[in-house]
Amino acid sequence: MGIDYIYPQFEVIRDPVRCINCRLCEKQCAGGVHGFDKDRGCMTTDESKCVNCQRCVCFCPTHALKIRKSDCTFRDNANWDEDTIKEIYKQAGSGGVLLIWRTGKMKEITRDAEQEDDAEDETPAD
C-alpha cells in the first residue's frame, strides 16, 4: 500500500482514563475505525476511515470519546482549492502517474481513457 499523504479530516480523541476497553465503539462503528490491540491491552484508532457520524460517541458508556475536525487543513491558496490540492496529493501517492477524475472514478491517463473521454464529450445532450 502506498503512503497516504492526506491528513485525516477528523481526529478521534479517546480519554485513556475514562476508557474501560468495553469495545462498544468497535462494534458500533461501520467504518472500522476502532480496534483492540490484545498485546498492549488497549484500543486502537484508524482516523483515516472516520466520517464524523458521532455514533461511537453516543454509545460510549463512559463518555471517553470525542470526534473533532482536524486542525491540519490546507491553507487558503489563491491558485488551488482544497479539492485540487487533494487530487495532486493522490497523484503524488500514485508515484507520479497522471490520473483523471471522471464519472466518479479516478483512473490512469492512457490513450484509451483519453479517447473514451473525448467520445463522452462529443455525445450530444438529450
State the minimum distance, in angstroms, from the CB of residue 71 to ligand SF4: 17
Closest to ligand SF4 by CB, 37 or 122: 37
53 binds ligand SF4 (CB under 6 A): yes
63: left (phi over 0), alpha (psi -120 to 50) or beta: left
Q: Residue from 4, 5, 13, 21 that binds ligand SF4 (CB under 6 A)?
A: 21
54 binds ligand SF4 (CB under 6 A): yes
R_g of the chain, CA atoms, integer Å: 20
How far is Cα of residue 42 from the mean position of the Cα atoms in its chain? 23
11 binds ligand SF4 (CB under 6 A): no
6 binds ligand SF4 (CB under 6 A): no
Is residue 77 within 8 Å of residue 85, measured between CB atoms? Answer: yes
Q: Would you say the C-alpha torsion 41, 47, 48, 53 has a positive or negative sign? A: positive
Residue 78 DSSP symbol: S
35 binds ligand SF4 (CB under 6 A): no
20 binds ligand SF4 (CB under 6 A): yes
31 binds ligand SF4 (CB under 6 A): yes
HSE-CB at 52 with a 13 A cutoff on CA atoms is 8
Residues near ligand SF4 (CB under 6 A):
12, 14, 19-25, 28-29, 31, 33, 43, 50-56, 60-62, 64-65, 67
